[in-house]
Structure 1
Amino acid sequence: MIRSLLGFLVCSIATTQVHAAMRTDFESSALVSGTIVIATDGSVRRVSVDDPEAARPTLVKFVQDSAMKWHFDPVVPESGTDEKRYRMTVRLIAKKAANGNYDVVIRGVSFGDGTTTGEVRDNPENQQMPPRYPMSAIERNVTGTVYLVLHIDREGKVTDADAEQVNLNVFGPENTMEVWRKQFASGAVKAARQWTYRVPTTGPLASEDGWVIRTSIVYSIKELSEMNKKDFWQTYIPGPRIDVPWLHKYETQSGNGDTVDALPDYTVQTRGAGPRLRTPAPQGS
């Protein structure tokens, strides 16, 4: 589902990079999506990347080599096999080292994409209820992404909603950026409380009383056609991760890393829908 707020102003990438160079808290990152195949004992058999040309051979190899070292809880295999495949998204972070080169690490990984009947799926009608774009943010070319965590009941209604993190694509004084984060988060949560979802009808999650999901809202003042032309690496100011008190009620539910921002735009991630890592995803350069 596309929840981008369309407008008529375009934020200059070149200007963003100039401002970023004057700060120490900016971050360059990329999402690499693909498929991971896991054996019944939790070992990884194969890893593929969707767009290897965009990611480039060295990064593809880095993601594949890293993922092959992961180990998961035992999985239920697909019919007639001894393995199971999952959709996977990896968040890469590039940081400038003292020698001027860039080190790349894996910060997080998510599984599933909200497209199967065993997961919570989006409702197309939610597209008609986007959040309001703050006029003050439009006037100042402020853009960003809000990462939401929601609780969905058996009827598909949102019973709890909060913003866990807000990343901004433009830079300013910290107190001003905090105002922008709060405006984006408030609008996103208000809109999310009106949404409904299609609940799981197959698999182990179908019998649950409710589900925790994560999704995102992109506040952009670009036209949709321009938004889809993203560079592989994106530079932004990451916001702090916010503790969500009501989420603690569901800590006993199976998670898969609970990485907030390792989630492609406009997708839904259902907690417990993917495989569970026994240890955190390893990091390297």
Structure 2
Amino acid sequence: MKLTKYLAAAAVSAAFVAAPASAATMGMADLAITGLIILNANNAPVTNGIVIQNENRTGTANSNFNNAQGTGAGLGNIFSTTIGGTVDVKNRCAGPSCAAMPAGNYPGGMENNFTAHIPAPNGNYAMGDMYIAGTALGVTGANGLTRADSSVMSPGNAGSANATIANSATAVTTFTAGNTLQAKFALGYNAYLAAFVNAINGVSGSSLGTISWTLSLQEVIGNVSTTIMNWSPAEINDGVTSSDISQNSIKESSGTILSNLVTLTGGRTYKLTINQASNSIASEVRAVPEPGSMVLIGLGLLALGAASRRKAAK
């Protein structure tokens, strides 16, 4: 079941009513995996018959504002070999508004916030955060978060953020009497994308927010690996961009997605790889003089031309 909300053009203008009257840009890319489990053909969770040999996972989060790197508690890249282990890169914030966070922007705090989404630019900052725990091959499933948020409210600034999850597991399936299993994956998710540009007074801007999530399942026989499933749900492989107020948009969706069935053979080895990423950019550049300034420049050029003609006539 999927719930989707998509706002564009005039509807987005109403959604951004709280945005400042001055020039501003914003890019938001938030993807929370609220549960990933393996099911059988009857949609029942597979609670036994799978033995995990090993698991490696990596998490990365970073941000920058005007090329200054964001800071956070601990490392910006964490690697784990613990089966079902938690990888939690603490949020990394860059920009002058970081000190005032999370007031107004992230009720409940900035760290591992699965639910708070920013509807309009609010401050000058960029923030990246990521988290993953559990395993799709376990009874309780897996969950994870990648968040990349950027907001710019004054000319000449640029912020960008990204967060990624790279997770892989190798599992040996064991069944009695050589039975095989028809399996599929169930994915619970919450996704939020937003791109906002309010370019006024000669200020041009651009923004983007993108999310991606893929699952690859390979069957390993000896030294040969054969891919038996590549799954990239459209709902969470998406993005929005804007360089003008008419392009501003919000995409918000949540629900549960089911993959196609795949056959797992008893006694064989399988490698499961999951990749998840969020990226955002918000920037403003003073591209051309303001209209009033252009008029003054034009009058000045006319005056110079008139003075030159008078001088030449003497």
**TM-score (normalizing by structure 1):** 0.27
**TM-score (normalizing by structure 2):** 0.25
More strand by share: 2
Larger of the two Rg values belongs to structure: 2
